[in-house]
């Protein structure tokens, strides 16, 4: 691929396009793009950027992880919700047994009351 790139550069007197390289090599443009991306130099997160090099790259990238404090808070909330859910289920069953079930009985005439 590098050889084709150099030869096309000398012939065209400009940087060849991906399509031109893929035509010479008889492969798809997608394959050329994948190869170029695979060998792209890696950047350090500590790379200084900006006009005065005052900012590191990592400072402007979003951090999608949650903090330890947020994790503990989420765990506590999940635990509280589970406890409330268990209590609600128990309360509902107790309420149904005490209120609804005794009310659903037959009177002396066989009618549900």
Q: What is the pLDDT of residues 75-107, one digit of tens each?
A: 888 888 877 777 766 555 565 555 555 555 555
H or E element that contains 78: helix 68-95
pLDDT at residue 19 tops 90? yes
Residue 13 falls within a domain, yes or no? Answer: yes
Residue 51 falls within a domain, yes or no? Answer: no
H or E element that contains 109: none
Sequence-distant (6+) residues with CB within 8 A of 106 are 112, 113
Residue 76 falls within a domain, yes or no? Answer: yes
Please give the Cα distance from 9 to 15 (Å, whole number).
5
What's the domain range around 90?
69-105
Number of CB atoms found within 10 A of residue 22's CB: 19
- More confident: 68 or 15: 15
The domain tally of the chain equals 2
Residue 112 falls within a domain, yes or no? Answer: no
Residue 22 falls within a domain, yes or no? Answer: yes
- Looking at the fold, whether 73 and 37 belong to one and the same domain comes out as no
């Amino acid at each position: 691929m590098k050889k084709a790139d150099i030869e096309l550069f000398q012939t065209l007197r400009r940087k060849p396009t991906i399509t031109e390289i893929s035509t010479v090599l008889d492969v798809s443009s997608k394959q050329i793009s994948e190869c170029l991306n695979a060998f792209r130099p890696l950047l350090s997160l500590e790379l200084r950027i900006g006009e005065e090099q005052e900012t590191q790259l990592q400072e402007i990238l979003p951090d999608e992880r949650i903090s330890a404090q947020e994790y503990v808070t989420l765990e506590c909330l999940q635990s509280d919700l589970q406890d409330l859910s268990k209590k609600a289920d128990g309360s509902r069953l107790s309420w149904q047994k005490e209120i609804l079930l005794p009310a659903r009985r037959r009177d002396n005439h066989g009618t549900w009351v």
